[in-house]
Amino acid sequence: MRRYFSILMVALATTLLSACELESADIGPTSYAERLLWNRVADGLKVEHGYMQIVVDLNEIMINNNAYMATFGRLSSVSSEEGEYTLVYNISSYHKEIYSIQTGGKRLDEGAEWSLYAWEDNIGFSKQYIGTATGVEGQTNKFHFSSGNPTWSPYSFCVAQESDVEYVLNEGTRSCDLTMTNISGVSTDSAYSDYTIEYHSLQPILFKRAQIISGKMDILYKDLVRKSERATIVEVKNQIATYAENK
């Protein structure tokens, strides 16, 4: 009996030794889904903001006779031919970005419709459509910007967005404060993606020095494979985002 008891004890000890922890539990982050969604939408907004800045640059050149370029020095060169402007940005010593804007010979404050293109050189130089800026008559610092599923994107996702844009040049801080209102957009990976993120602004999104300072956004995520949805409202104040579930 003693023998079997000792055998049982050995087996029990072995089992206890065996029941060890291979990996510890996750510390579950809260609001992780909301942060994922907002980061994606914010990245898309920053991409759109970059395109809008190019429109702003040309608008300032046309209205204020290169004053904007002289003040901020972001552009390296501007040339025009039959109403089509080419803007070259020296991003670094070995990398430059070239954009082309077809103005039709009209300024934005004359109600013009400008088409923005990027010169893309990965597969040889070709012109890729990015979006359209539509001016408001009599308004020098306002336009409507529409981007539609750009085939060219330096990012791993694409955005189609409509918004009204207003900007103020701040020479003191050498920056451009840009406000997007009435934003309506869709962000996804590609045309064959298994999800979409639809977003609408509830309050204007304010950019300063290319950073989102404030705003409020309604975001709806749709998983097309799992047939699930998730909605959230993001409010940004002083660059800090807070999340609320939108039921």
Residues lying near other proteins in the complex (CB under 8 A): 3-4, 6-8, 10-11, 13-15, 17-33, 36-37, 40, 157, 189, 193-195, 221, 223, 225-226, 228, 230
Q: Which is nearer to other proteins, 7 or 210 (CB)?
A: 7
Residue 153 CB, shortest distance to other proteins, in Å, is: 15
Residue 43 CB, shortest distance to other proteins, in Å, is: 11
Place of tokens 């910007």: 145
Structure tokens of 209? Answer: 């020095």
Residue 4 CB, shortest distance to other proteins, in Å, is: 7
Reported as type and span, the H/E element at residue 185 is strand 175-188
Residue 12 CB, shortest distance to other proteins, in Å, is: 9
Q: Which is nearer to other proteins, 72 or 157 (CB)?
A: 157
Q: Which is nearer to other proteins, 126 or 228 (CB)?
A: 228
Q: Which is nearer to other proteins, 24 or 122 (CB)?
A: 24
Cα distances from 107 to residues 58, 59, 219, in angstroms, run 9, 7, 34
Q: For residue 185, which of 27, 43, 29, 67 has the smallest C-alpha distance?
A: 43
221 near 234, Cβ under 8 Å?
Answer: no
Rounded-to-integer distance, Cα 95 and Cα 29, Å:
38
Q: For residue 221, which of 24, 66, 37 has the smallest C-alpha distance?
A: 37
Residue 213 CB, shortest distance to other proteins, in Å, is: 26
Q: Which is nearer to other proteins, 121 or 245 (CB)?
A: 245
Secondary structure (3-state) at 191: coil
Tell me how many degrees the CA angle 134-140-141 measures, rounded to the nearest 5. 80
